[in-house]
Amino acid sequence: MLFLQLIMKIKKAGRPPKEKSTRKDVDLRIPVTSDQKEAIVEAARIAGLDMAAWARPILLAAAMGEHGSKK
């Protein structure tokens, strides 16, 4: 039992918590065809990003350009 207590006290390794202001807490789901997803996955791969990291700035730039939004 002592070993288990010692293990539980050791801080787990991992990524440090993100700042509250930079956390993404809502998902955006959009329907796409298989071909469209494949094109997005490939573009993200070429850019060295995951799909969300690749698409987020593109979508936000389009939204700000069309609506003047600054969020």
Residue with the larger pLDDT of the pair 64 and 69: 64
Domain edges within the chain: 28-71
d(CA 55, CA 45): 12
Amino acid found at 55: A
Q: What is the pLDDT of residues 12-41, one digit of tens each?
A: 667 778 788 888 889 999 999 999 999 999
Count of CA atoms in the C-beta half-sphere (13 A) of 6: 3
Whether pLDDT at 71 is above 60: no
